[in-house]
């Protein structure tokens, strides 16, 4: 395979969870003769501290050469007072644009051994296996912005082309699952959501007639994610709604540290990262949960390297580690916990 993986640790616990994940990937590569290679680059606050922009030219060049990009986390209060173009998060936005990724995939499948770690009752969680497909390049995060002393404006904007391509991606993914889609919008209030609903209906009816779909307002979706999560299969939604709903959905799994994500475009190269942030309050203590990053690496193997078998081996090793009772502090529920590196070592033993 001889694939190159760009590793961008970023800020806070990003360095800890990516280092643990690279150690597992190296072991997996050795066992399965994958020939994986790793090169590291700076992004976010770490790049700023090195006198660079949030997305240095060297990092951009590395990512454009790589077969896939593994990211830790960016941001933190240290840089909160910076101007918008000097904030760590700008590095992530620039990276997404350079890679041409527009579809963020966030699977949420609570592990059976961790159902009691969630604040949601076990009987509501059982059978939950959903995938959120979030549009990444449009909406209020990327619209025109202005601010005066007395007013601030963030424009929410979507084009038909942006909506069509994310809905097609959701439709394709749904065909490989249970063939059900919920499209989330706010069409009772927002013009962009009305365009979203009309376009979604046309694409799914004309191109994916085998898929059952319904439209759901975002406030109702937030409620139903908690009250009946097992009823969802694929959720497709716009940028800000997806950002909020996936953080809510992380509580179904029991911790934000458990969930992976993949950001994909039309090519093979993708960006893979856990959904959690940089967690500066625990950074440097070696207690961060690496599961979200490990499962993100499995998504990299599957989607960018087209190696479903190796992805399955990694996912199974993580699952067996959890089945055997190993827990980091965030999911230990007051019981015995292990540190980041010990969890990674346990996964390596179970590959």
Structure tokens at 150: 């007395």
Nearest to 13 by CA among 327, 289, 292: 289
**The one catalytic residue among 67, 243, 307, 330:** 243
**The one catalytic residue among 30, 49, 219, 266:** 219
Q: Is 158 a catalytic residue?
A: no
Rounded Cα distance between 156 and 153, Å, is 10
First to last CA, the chain: 19
- Report the DSSP pairing between strands 103-108 and 260-264: antiparallel
Structure tokens at 294: 């490990």
**The one catalytic residue among 78, 129, 141, 341:** 141
Q: Is 186 a catalytic residue?
A: yes
Rounded Cα distance between 198 and 343, Å, is 47
Rounded Cα distance between 108 and 351, Å, is 22
Strand (E) or helix (H) holding 16 = helix 14-32
Rounded Cα distance between 19 and 288, Å, is 11
**The one catalytic residue among 11, 158, 186, 330:** 186
Q: Is 154 a catalytic residue?
A: no
Question: Known catalytic residues?
Answer: 141, 186, 219, 243, 247
């Amino acid at each position: 395979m001889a694939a190159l993986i760009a590793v961008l640790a970023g800020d806070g616990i990003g360095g800890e969870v990516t280092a643990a994940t690279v150690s597992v990937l190296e072991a997996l590569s050795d066992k399965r003769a994958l020939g994986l290679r790793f090169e590291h680059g700076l992004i976010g606050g770490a790049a700023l501290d090195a006198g660079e922009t949030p997305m240095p030219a060297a990092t951009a060049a590395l990512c454009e050469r790589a077969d896939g990009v593994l990211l830790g986390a960016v941001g933190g209060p240290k840089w909160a007072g910076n101007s918008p173009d000097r904030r760590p998060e700008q590095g992530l936005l620039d990276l997404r644009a350079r890679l041409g990724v527009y579809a963020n995939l966030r699977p949420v499948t609570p592990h059976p051994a961790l159902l009691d770690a969630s604040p949601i009752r076990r009987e509501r969680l059982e059978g939950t296996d959903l995938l959120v497909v979030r549009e990444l390049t449009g909406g209020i995060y990327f619209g025109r912005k202005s601010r005066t002393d007395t007013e601030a404006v963030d424009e929410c904007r979507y084009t038909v082309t942006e909506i069509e391509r994310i809905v097609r991606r959701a439709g394709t993914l749904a065909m490989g699952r249970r063939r059900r889609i919920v499209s989330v919008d706010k069409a009772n209030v927002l013009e962009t959501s009305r365009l979203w609903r009309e376009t979604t209906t046309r694409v799914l009816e004309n191109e994916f007639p085998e898929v059952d779909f319904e439209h759901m307002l975002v406030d109702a979706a937030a409620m139903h994610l908690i009250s009946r999560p097992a009823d969802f299969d694929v959720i497709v939604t716009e940028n800000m709604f997806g950002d909020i709903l996936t953080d809510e959905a992380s509580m179904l799994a029991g911790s934000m540290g458990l969930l992976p994500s993949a950001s994909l475009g039309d090519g093979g190269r993708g960006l893979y990262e856990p959904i959690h942030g940089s967690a500066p309050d625990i950074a440097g203590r070696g207690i961060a949960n690496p599961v979200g990053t490990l499962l993100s690496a499995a998504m990299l193997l599957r989607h960018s390297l087209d190696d479903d078998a190796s992805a399955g081996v990694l996912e199974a090793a993580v699952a067996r580690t959890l089945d055997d009772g190993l827990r980091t502090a965030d999911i230990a529920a007051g019981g015995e916990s292990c540190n980041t590196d010990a969890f990674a070592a346990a996964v390596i033993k179970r590959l």
